[in-house]
Amino acid sequence: MSAPQTSAYRDAMARLGAAVNVITTGTLENPVGFTASAVCSVTDTPPTLLVCLNRASRVREFFHVGAPLCVNVLSASQEELSGHFASANSMEERFALGHWDTLSTGAPALKEAVATFDCLISQIVEVGTHSVLFGTVQALRSNDEADGLAYFRRAYHTLKSILP
């Protein structure tokens, strides 16, 4: 059996819903960020997650072992921010939206995010066209009031909170 064609694989992956995230590194004075849906938990001991980043991305050079990596899980009201960070906008233009501060590592953290995972990159594995960045969580922040934002079948969808 032969491997599936790239387009068939991408079409099938579009049916795998995922949270929408803005991934940051650098500092508030020199921020770098991009939009990603390829983010998942690896282990809770120690708390570690992974982020996939296209090796051809203009931001790839800023992510290296030991660098900060902040995963900002977007809320339903932040769809515009997702597109803004996925565009050809400059970093200055990208970070003009939202309200930013820092947690432990100094990487920009989005105040309005549903959840923020402030990490240090512990390992990077190159796989095909992407770099898999492993981040060990140093600090967390959660926002119980916000609904989530998901990407499914190439469209955004709101994940409603059922908390009282």
* Mean pLDDT of successive 10-residue stretches along the chain, which has 164 residues: 79 84 97 97 97 97 98 96 95 96 98 97 97 98 93 90 68
Residue 63 lies in a domain: yes
pLDDT digits (tens, 9 = 90+) for 32-66: 999 999 999 999 999 999 999 999 999 999 999 99
Number of domains making up the chain: 1
Global pTM value: 0.93
Residues 6+ apart with CB under 8 A from 114: 73, 74, 75, 142, 143, 146, 147, 148, 149
Residue 162 lies in a domain: no
Q: Provide the 8-state DSSP code for 67.
A: S
Alpha-carbon 58 to chain mean position: 15
Residue 54, both tokens: 């296209």
* CATH number of the domain within which 13 lies: 2.30.110.10
Residue 161 lies in a domain: no
**Averaged confidence pLDDT in the chain:** 94
pLDDT digits (tens, 9 = 90+) for 74-83: 999 999 999 9
14 is in which domain, residue-wise?
A: 6-156
Residue 107, both tokens: 């990487």
Residue 9: its pLDDT value, please?
83
The number of residues in the chain equals 164
Residue 163 lies in a domain: no
Residue 18 lies in a domain: yes
Count of other CB atoms within 10 angstroms of residue 72: 30
Residue 164 lies in a domain: no
Residue 4: its pLDDT value, please?
72
